[in-house]
Copies of this chain bind each other. A is one copy, B any other.
Amino acid sequence: MNTFGHLFTLTTAGESHGEALTAIVDGMPAGIRIDRDELALQMARRAPGTGIGSTRREPDRVRLLSGLRDDVTIGTPIALLIENSDVRPGDYSHLKHTFRPSHADYTYQAKYGIRAVEGGGRASARETALRVAAGALAMQALAKRGVSVHAYTSQIGRVSMPGGYEGVDYDAIYTNAVYCPDADAADRMIAEIESARAAGDTLGGIVNCIIDGLPAGIGEPVYDKLQAMLASAMMSINAAHGFEYGMGFAGAAMRGSEALDKWTTDDCGRLRTVTNHSGGIQGGISNGMPVTMRVAFKPVATLMRPVESVNLHGESVTIEPHGRHDCCVVPRAVAVVRAMAAITTLDAILMAGKW
């Protein structure tokens, strides 16, 4: 399926090197004034050439074809169109009969019996440009309800940012090329990327995400738990290999007495917890604390050095590096994680009937 969500939905179409990327965003609440500059800003943060270690530069201008009247949403679906302006189909002819390792070439062929070879076709992360656009719309709706979503790079390769979700300076995220709010860690991440690139190699990493301002009571209690919806959202992003929220995998090694989030009250007398091991969710439903999560990305599968592979006949071939490819997409994935979190959160609010 190419649709995500229940009441706020994103349906996308488009291959990497096709005519255009198209999306339909449905369920957008009426009466939201869309800030097109803000939308463009989000798009720029995911754009190729962004940050460090990126390649193909393309403006990714999004046309909004419907659902607006004088830039205010009217409740009808919003169609998004990104024309592909930088398509060079010739680049990929050498892959026509080859299955690249750790790419989706073989699996698409197995599923459909046919595939778009160029640029990975539908499996390319080009598709995520539409998610960022839809997420930018969702964020603008969420802002009306006091909900904000932030994401940042917390690990690239073996370089991690110290500390947890608390005290992150959101304003510092976009002050460096890797979108890490810790300046020192950012410097080390950049060095890690430069080292990998020099070796013709690639890197993965981890993106952290925090949803602030979500009131208690959002999320479904059994299936489609808030964390399940978020996990589905994140694991649908290209190259994502892991999802955790709150204490996550580290929680497996904790004792119950360490992990309990004690109740207290804030200055307004509202319940909140002293710690947030629960990641803002209990029993699938938000508890009013920040919703915290991390998404792990594998290293980019296209190396800038020769790679062994097989062709359609199962014969060994060597793929020589062509063109230029990202060494590490984690900084660009920051915008995608943020967008998917925003889309999911708006959907969950609508499902709860609490818009």
A residues adjacent to B (C-beta < 8 A): 1-4, 7, 9, 11-15, 18-24, 26-27, 30-31, 63, 65-67, 69, 72, 74-79, 81, 99, 101-104, 106-108, 110-116, 121-123, 127, 155, 157-158, 196, 199, 201-206, 215-225, 227-236, 238, 240-249, 251-265, 269, 271, 273, 277-279, 281-288, 296-303, 305, 307-310, 314, 350-353, 355
Max chain B C-beta neighbours (<10 A), residue from A157, A225, A251, A300: A251
A247: which B residues are within 8 A, CB to CB?
A: 241, 298
The answer on a CB contact under 8 Å between B262 and A308 is yes
The answer on a CB contact under 8 Å between B256 and A249 is no
By beta carbon, the residue of chain B nearest A99 is B263
A203: which B residues are within 8 A, CB to CB?
A: 255-256
The answer on a CB contact under 8 Å between B201 and A251 is no
A to B CB contacts below 8 Å, 18 in the list: A2-B223, A20-B66, A22-B22, A69-B115, A74-B116, A76-B221, A102-B259, A103-B283, A157-B252, A157-B255, A196-B256, A229-B232, A230-B235, A241-B252, A242-B245, A242-B249, A259-B298, A259-B299
The answer on a CB contact under 8 Å between A252 and B76 is no
Among B81, B216, B273, point to the contact of A110 (Cβ < 8 A). B216
Give min CB distance, A283 to chain B, whole Å: 2
Max chain B C-beta neighbours (<10 A), residue from A225, A298, A350: A298
The answer on a CB contact under 8 Å between B14 and A26 is no
Max chain B C-beta neighbours (<10 A), residue from A65, A111, A218, A246: A111
A23: which B residues are within 8 A, CB to CB?
A: 24
How many Å lie between the Cα of A269 and that of B229 in the bound state?
40
- Given the contacts A123-B283, A236-B284, A241-B251, A262 and B196 also touching, CB distance less than 8 Å: no
A2: which B residues are within 8 A, CB to CB?
A: 24, 26, 76-77, 220-223
How many Å lie between the Cα of A196 and that of B236 in the bound state?
37
The answer on a CB contact under 8 Å between A19 and B63 is yes
By beta carbon, the residue of chain B nearest A298 is B251
